[in-house]
Protein backbone atom coordinates (compact mmCIF):
# COMPACT_ATOMS: atom_id res chain seq x y z
CA UNK A 1 0.00 0.00 0.00
CA UNK A 2 1.52 3.33 -1.07
CA UNK A 3 1.26 6.56 0.87
CA UNK A 4 0.47 9.61 -1.23
CA UNK A 5 0.53 13.35 -0.58
CA UNK A 6 -1.48 15.55 -2.94
CA UNK A 7 -1.09 19.32 -2.72
CA UNK A 8 -4.01 20.96 -4.49
CA UNK A 9 -7.65 19.89 -4.24
CA UNK A 10 -8.82 21.25 -7.57
CA UNK A 11 -10.44 19.01 -10.17
CA UNK A 12 -7.19 17.36 -11.28
CA UNK A 13 -5.95 16.73 -7.76
CA UNK A 14 -9.36 15.47 -6.68
CA UNK A 15 -9.51 12.96 -9.54
CA UNK A 16 -6.06 11.63 -8.61
CA UNK A 17 -6.95 11.47 -4.92
CA UNK A 18 -10.20 9.58 -5.39
CA UNK A 19 -8.67 7.09 -7.81
CA UNK A 20 -5.65 6.39 -5.61
CA UNK A 21 -7.95 5.90 -2.63
CA UNK A 22 -9.92 3.39 -4.72
CA UNK A 23 -6.62 1.64 -5.40
CA UNK A 24 -6.16 1.32 -1.62
CA UNK A 25 -3.44 3.92 -1.23
CA UNK A 26 -3.28 6.07 1.87
CA UNK A 27 -4.04 9.55 0.56
CA UNK A 28 -3.38 12.85 2.28
CA UNK A 29 -4.70 15.97 0.51
CA UNK A 30 -3.62 19.52 1.30
CA UNK A 31 -5.20 22.78 0.11
CA UNK A 32 -5.52 26.29 1.50
CA UNK A 33 -9.22 26.35 0.60
CA UNK A 34 -11.36 25.09 3.48
CA UNK A 35 -14.37 24.37 1.26
CA UNK A 36 -12.28 22.22 -1.09
CA UNK A 37 -10.91 20.24 1.87
CA UNK A 38 -14.40 19.68 3.29
CA UNK A 39 -15.60 18.39 -0.06
CA UNK A 40 -12.79 15.90 -0.54
CA UNK A 41 -12.49 14.73 3.09
CA UNK A 42 -15.04 11.86 2.77
CA UNK A 43 -13.14 10.35 -0.16
CA UNK A 44 -9.57 10.22 1.17
CA UNK A 45 -7.63 8.97 4.17
CA UNK A 46 -7.00 12.47 5.52
CA UNK A 47 -7.04 16.10 4.39
CA UNK A 48 -5.64 19.28 5.89
CA UNK A 49 -5.96 23.01 5.30
CA UNK A 50 -2.51 24.41 4.69
CA UNK A 51 -0.07 26.27 2.47
CA UNK A 52 2.23 24.18 0.30
CA UNK A 53 4.76 27.02 0.17
CA UNK A 54 5.13 27.02 3.96
CA UNK A 55 8.27 25.08 4.85
CA UNK A 56 7.29 24.44 8.46
CA UNK A 57 3.89 23.13 7.43
CA UNK A 58 5.49 20.70 4.95
CA UNK A 59 7.98 19.58 7.60
CA UNK A 60 5.06 18.91 9.94
CA UNK A 61 3.49 16.69 7.29
CA UNK A 62 6.67 14.62 7.06
CA UNK A 63 6.89 14.76 3.27
CA UNK A 64 9.82 12.33 3.15
CA UNK A 65 7.58 9.62 4.59
CA UNK A 66 5.31 9.58 1.54
CA UNK A 67 6.03 7.31 -1.42
CA UNK A 68 4.98 9.99 -3.88
CA UNK A 69 4.01 13.66 -3.68
CA UNK A 70 1.77 15.27 -6.29
CA UNK A 71 1.70 19.02 -6.86
CA UNK A 72 -1.50 19.69 -8.80
CA UNK A 73 -1.52 23.50 -8.75
CA UNK A 74 -1.19 23.98 -12.50
CA UNK A 75 -3.11 27.29 -12.59
CA UNK A 76 -0.95 28.86 -9.89
CA UNK A 77 2.50 28.38 -11.32
CA UNK A 78 4.54 30.40 -8.82
CA UNK A 79 2.96 28.48 -5.96
CA UNK A 80 3.46 25.19 -7.80
CA UNK A 81 7.12 25.97 -8.43
CA UNK A 82 7.80 26.96 -4.81
CA UNK A 83 6.00 23.88 -3.50
CA UNK A 84 7.85 21.56 -5.87
CA UNK A 85 11.20 23.03 -4.87
CA UNK A 86 10.43 22.79 -1.15
CA UNK A 87 9.30 19.17 -1.41
CA UNK A 88 12.55 18.28 -3.14
CA UNK A 89 14.66 20.15 -0.57
CA UNK A 90 12.82 18.42 2.30
CA UNK A 91 13.69 15.00 0.90
CA UNK A 92 10.48 13.89 -0.81
CA UNK A 93 11.07 10.51 -2.44
CA UNK A 94 9.26 11.36 -5.67
CA UNK A 95 7.69 14.63 -6.77
CA UNK A 96 5.22 14.76 -9.65
CA UNK A 97 4.05 18.24 -10.64
CA UNK A 98 1.43 19.54 -13.02
CA UNK A 99 2.24 21.98 -15.82
CA UNK A 100 -0.03 23.81 -18.24
CA UNK A 101 2.61 24.66 -20.86
CA UNK A 102 6.09 23.68 -22.03
CA UNK A 103 7.85 26.54 -20.23
CA UNK A 104 6.33 25.53 -16.90
CA UNK A 105 7.39 21.94 -17.53
CA UNK A 106 11.04 22.96 -18.01
CA UNK A 107 11.11 25.11 -14.87
CA UNK A 108 9.47 22.42 -12.73
CA UNK A 109 11.96 19.78 -13.88
CA UNK A 110 14.84 22.14 -13.12
CA UNK A 111 13.50 22.90 -9.64
CA UNK A 112 12.92 19.50 -8.09
CA UNK A 113 10.16 17.71 -9.99
CA UNK A 114 11.01 14.09 -10.83
CA UNK A 115 8.22 14.02 -13.37
CA UNK A 116 5.84 16.56 -14.88
CA UNK A 117 2.34 15.84 -16.12
CA UNK A 118 0.76 18.07 -18.72
CA UNK A 119 -2.88 16.85 -18.83
CA UNK A 120 -4.26 19.40 -21.27
CA UNK A 121 -1.58 18.69 -23.87
CA UNK A 122 -1.62 14.94 -23.29
CA UNK A 123 -5.41 14.78 -23.62
CA UNK A 124 -5.38 16.97 -26.74
CA UNK A 125 -2.72 14.83 -28.43
CA UNK A 126 -4.58 11.64 -27.55
CA UNK A 127 -7.93 12.90 -28.85
CA UNK A 128 -6.38 14.29 -32.03
CA UNK A 129 -4.60 11.02 -32.74
CA UNK A 130 -7.69 8.94 -32.02
CA UNK A 131 -9.96 10.89 -34.34
CA UNK A 132 -7.48 11.56 -37.15
CA UNK A 133 -8.10 8.08 -38.60
CA UNK A 134 -11.17 5.85 -38.50
CA UNK A 135 -8.98 2.80 -37.88
CA UNK A 136 -7.51 4.08 -34.59
CA UNK A 137 -9.52 3.38 -31.45
CA UNK A 138 -6.96 4.37 -28.85
CA UNK A 139 -3.25 4.49 -28.11
CA UNK A 140 -0.82 4.41 -25.20
CA UNK A 141 2.61 6.02 -25.13
CA UNK A 142 5.02 3.74 -23.28
CA UNK A 143 8.42 5.40 -23.54
CA UNK A 144 10.52 7.37 -26.01
CA UNK A 145 9.05 6.49 -29.41
CA UNK A 146 7.38 3.20 -28.36
CA UNK A 147 3.58 3.01 -28.51
CA UNK A 148 0.72 0.55 -28.18
CA UNK A 149 -2.06 1.25 -30.67
CA UNK A 150 -5.56 -0.19 -30.60
CA UNK A 151 -6.55 -0.44 -34.27
CA UNK A 152 -9.21 -2.02 -36.41
CA UNK A 153 -7.77 -4.92 -38.38
CA UNK A 154 -7.27 -3.83 -42.03
CA UNK A 155 -9.47 -5.46 -44.67
CA UNK A 156 -6.47 -7.06 -46.37
CA UNK A 157 -5.87 -9.06 -43.17
CA UNK A 158 -9.28 -10.75 -43.27
CA UNK A 159 -9.08 -14.52 -43.75
CA UNK A 160 -5.30 -14.59 -43.31
CA UNK A 161 -3.21 -15.93 -40.44
CA UNK A 162 -0.76 -13.78 -38.54
CA UNK A 163 2.03 -15.86 -40.04
CA UNK A 164 0.80 -14.94 -43.52
CA UNK A 165 0.44 -11.28 -42.62
CA UNK A 166 3.93 -11.33 -41.05
CA UNK A 167 3.73 -7.73 -39.87
CA UNK A 168 6.55 -8.28 -37.39
CA UNK A 169 9.05 -9.11 -40.11
CA UNK A 170 7.81 -6.46 -42.54
CA UNK A 171 7.42 -3.55 -40.15
CA UNK A 172 8.90 -4.63 -36.77
CA UNK A 173 5.43 -4.42 -35.19
CA UNK A 174 4.33 -6.91 -32.53
CA UNK A 175 0.67 -7.94 -32.20
CA UNK A 176 0.06 -8.26 -28.47
CA UNK A 177 -3.58 -9.35 -28.52
CA UNK A 178 -6.69 -9.58 -30.65
CA UNK A 179 -10.10 -8.52 -29.41
CA UNK A 180 -13.05 -10.27 -31.03
CA UNK A 181 -16.40 -9.04 -29.81
CA UNK A 182 -16.16 -8.85 -26.03
CA UNK A 183 -13.35 -11.39 -25.78
CA UNK A 184 -9.61 -10.77 -25.95
CA UNK A 185 -7.16 -13.46 -27.00
CA UNK A 186 -3.43 -13.95 -27.11
CA UNK A 187 -2.88 -14.74 -30.79
CA UNK A 188 -0.59 -17.35 -32.29
CA UNK A 189 0.92 -17.59 -35.75
CA UNK A 190 -2.13 -19.65 -36.80
CA UNK A 191 -4.72 -17.11 -35.63
CA UNK A 192 -6.95 -16.13 -38.56
CA UNK A 193 -8.06 -12.51 -38.63
CA UNK A 194 -11.79 -11.95 -39.05
CA UNK A 195 -13.85 -8.85 -39.97
CA UNK A 196 -14.41 -6.71 -36.90
CA UNK A 197 -11.25 -7.86 -35.09
CA UNK A 198 -9.36 -5.28 -33.07
CA UNK A 199 -5.57 -5.55 -32.80
CA UNK A 200 -3.36 -4.21 -30.03
CA UNK A 201 0.02 -3.59 -31.62
CA UNK A 202 3.37 -2.56 -30.16
CA UNK A 203 6.12 -0.75 -31.99
CA UNK A 204 7.86 2.49 -32.81
CA UNK A 205 5.51 5.20 -34.03
CA UNK A 206 7.01 5.47 -37.52
CA UNK A 207 6.73 1.68 -37.99
CA UNK A 208 3.09 1.64 -36.88
CA UNK A 209 2.29 4.54 -39.19
CA UNK A 210 3.94 2.73 -42.08
CA UNK A 211 2.39 -0.66 -41.32
CA UNK A 212 -1.13 0.71 -41.03
CA UNK A 213 -0.76 3.48 -43.63
CA UNK A 214 -1.46 6.25 -41.14
Q: What is the CATH number of the domain that holds 59?
A: 3.40.50.720
Selection from 85, 81, 64 nearest residue 73 by Cα: 81
On whether residue 183 sits in a domain, the answer given is: yes
Question: Angle at the Cα of 77 (from 76 to 79), degrees rounded to 5?
Answer: 70
Q: Quick one: 8 and 109 in the same domain?
A: yes
- 100 & 20 share domain: yes
Are 9 and 75 contained in the same domain? yes
Domain shared by 137 and 163, yes or no: yes
Give the residue from 131, 132, 138, 130 showing the smallest Cα distance to 200. 138
In a domain, 154, yes or no: yes
Q: Which residues pair with 151 in a beta bridge?
A: 136, 199
Q: Give residue-wise pLDDT tens across range 16-30.
A: 999 999 999 999 999
Q: Which domain range does residue 44 map to?
A: 3-118
pLDDT at 200: 92
Q: Which residues pair with 132 in a beta bridge?
A: none
**Whether pTM exceeds 0.85:** no
- For the chain, the maximum distance between any two Cα atoms, rounded to a whole number of angstroms, is 67
Q: Which residues of the chain have pLDDT under 70?
A: 74
* 70 and 113 fall within a common domain: yes
154 with 201, same domain: the answer is yes
Q: Are residues 22 and 104 in the same domain?
A: yes
Q: In total, how many domains does the chain have?
A: 2
Taking Cα atoms as reference points, which of 75, 76, 97 lies closest to residue 86?
97
Query: Do 157 and 204 share a structural domain?
Result: yes
CB 160 within 8 A of CB 189: no
**Statement to judge: residues 13 and 97 lie in one domain:** yes
Cα–Cα nearest to 47, from 16, 77, 9: 9
What is the CA 1 to chain-centroid distance, rounded?
20
184 within some domain: yes
Amino acid sequence: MKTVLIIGAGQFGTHIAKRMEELRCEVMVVDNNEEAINQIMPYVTDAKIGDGTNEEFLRMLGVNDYDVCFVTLGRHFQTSLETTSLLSELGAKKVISRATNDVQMKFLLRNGADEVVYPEKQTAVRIATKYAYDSILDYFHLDNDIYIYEVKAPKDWFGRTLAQIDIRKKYKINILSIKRGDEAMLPSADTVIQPGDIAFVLGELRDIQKGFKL
